Structure 1
Amino acid sequence: MEAPTLDSMMEHHRFPDDHISLLLLLLYSPIGLFLLLLRIFIGAHIFLVSCVLPDSVRRFLMRIMTSVLGVFTSVSEPHVRDKSVKIYISNHRTYFDHNVVSLITSCASPSVSCPPGFLCWARGFLELGTPGSRAQLKESLKHYLSQTGSPPLLLFPEEETTNGKKGLLNFSSWAFSLSDSVQPLALHVQRPLISPMVTGCPWVMELFWMLFIPFTIYQVRWLPPVFRYPKESDEEFSSRVQKLMALSMGIIGTRHTAVDRAEHLKRIRHESPTPAASVSSSTADSRMVQRVKEVLPQVPLSVIHKDLARTKCVDTTITNLLEGRVPFVSEEESCGRSEASVMSNRPTKSVYKGFGRRPQDRHLSLQERKEALYECARRRYLDKFGSLGTEEEEAQC
Structure 2
Amino acid sequence: MALTVDKLMNDERFSGDNVLQFLLYLPFGILLLVVRLLLALVLWVASIILPNKSGVRQMLSTLACWTFGVYVKLKGTRDPRCSVMVANYVSCLDSLAASHVLGTISLRKWKVPPFFASTLGIRNAAQFVRKQHFAECPSKPVLLQPEGGPTNGKGLLKFTDWPCPLGNRVQPVAISVERMFTNVTVHGGDSRSSFPWADALWFLCTPVTVYSLRLLPPVERHDDDDAAMANNLSAAIAEALQIERTEFKWEELRPRGRAPPSRRAGGAGDVTTLARQVKEVLPAVPIHDILRDLAKTRSVDVTITNFLEGVTPYTPEDTTEPRPSTSKPRYVTPAPTGVFPKSAKERQLSFQERKAQMIAEAKKRYIEKNGLNLALNNC
Distance in 2 between residues matched to 1:141 and 1:27, nearest whole Å: 50
Q: Deviations over 1:4-62 (max 9, x none)?
A: 111111111111342xx222111111111111111011122124334525223532564
Specify which of 176, 180, 188 is matched with residue 176 of structure 2: 188
Deviation at 1:268, TM superposition (A): 2.9
**Paired position in structure 1 for 2:19:** 22
SS, match of residue 19 in structure 2: helix
1:161–1:223: structure 2 CA closer, same or farther, 3 Å change rule? Answer: same
Whole-Å Cα distance in 2 between the matches of residues 252 and 153 of structure 1?
26
Q: Which letter does structure 2 place at the counterpart of 1:255? A: E
Equivalent runs, 1:98-109 vs 2, <5 Å: 98-109=95-106
What whole-Å deviation, never above 9, does each CA across 1:139-185 have from its counterpart, x for those lacking one?
x65344453325211100101001112x1111110011111111111
- Aligned match of 1:169: 157
Out of 138, 142, 149, which is 1:153 matched to?
A: 142
SS at match of 1:194: coil
Pick from 183, 193, 216: which aligns with 2:209? 216
Identity %: 28
Given that residues 61 and 119 in structure 2 are in contact (C-alpha distance below 8 angstroms), is that contact kept between their aligned partners in structure 1? no
Amino acid at match of 1:236: A
**Is residue 115–residue 129 contact of structure 1 (8 Å, CA) maintained in 2?**
no
Q: Does 1:251 align with 2:243?
A: yes
Q: Could you say which residue in structure 2 is the equivalent of 1:46?
A: 43
Is the Cα contact below 8 Å between 2:161 and 2:227 reproduced in 1? yes
Which residue is equivalent to 1:83?
Answer: 80
Structure 2 partner of 1:366: none
Q: What's the counterpart of residue 221 of structure 2?
A: 228
Query: 1:81 touches 1:225 (CA, 8 Å); kept in 2?
Result: no
- In structure 2, give the amino acid aligned to 1:163: N
Normalised TM-score (structure 1): 0.58
Partner amino acid for 1:154?
L
Distance 2:19 2:245 in 1: 33
Structure 1 CA distance for aligned equivalents of residues 111 and 67 of structure 2: 28
The separation in 1 between residues aligned to 2:96 and 2:137, in whole angstroms, is 20
Q: CA RMSD in A?
A: 2.6
Question: Residue deviations 1:352-376, cap 9 Å, x none?
Answer: xxxxxxxxxxxxxxxxxxxxxxxxx
Unpaired segments ≥5 residues, structure 2: 190-194, 261-379
Going from structure 1 to structure 2, the CA distance change for 1:87 and 1:10 (only over 3 Å counts) comes to: same
What TM-score, normalized by structure 2, do the two folds share?
0.61
- Higher relative contact order, structure no. (Cα contacts within 8 Å, ≥ 6 residues apart): 2
Residues 172-216 of structure 1 show CA distances to partners (whole Å, capped at 9, x for unaligned) of 100111111111111111111111111236521111111011111
> Conserved in 2, the CA contact under 8 Å of 1:243 and 1:252?
no
One-letter amino acid of the counterpart of residue 41, structure 1:
L
In structure 1, distance between residues paired with 2:159 and 2:136: 28
Distance (Å, rounded) in 1 between the aligned partners of 2:203 and 2:244? 28
Alignment correspondent of 2:231: 239
Distance in structure 2 (CA, Å) of the matches to 1:67 and 1:219:
16
Secondary structure, in 3 states, of the residue corresponding to 1:269?
Answer: coil
Runs (5+) with no aligned partner, structure 1: 131-139, 272-397
Name the larger-Rg structure: 1
Q: Is the alpha carbon distance of 1:41 and 1:11 closer, same or farther for their aligned partners in structure 2, counting shifts above 3 Å?
A: same
Task: Report what 2:11 is aligned to.
Answer: 12
- Looking at structure 1, the residues matched to 57 and 112 of structure 2 have their Cα atoms a distance apart, in angstroms, of 25
Matched, 1:93 2:81: no
Matched residue of 1:32: which SS?
Answer: helix
Q: Residues 67 and 119 (structure 1 numbering): CA distance in 2 closer, same or farther, change over 3 Å? A: closer
Q: Is this contact kept in 2: 1:59–1:104, CA < 8 A? A: no
* SS in structure 2 at match of 1:33: helix
Residue 240 of structure 1 deviates from its aligned partner by: 1.1
Partner of 1:349 in structure 2?
Answer: none
Aligned residues: 252
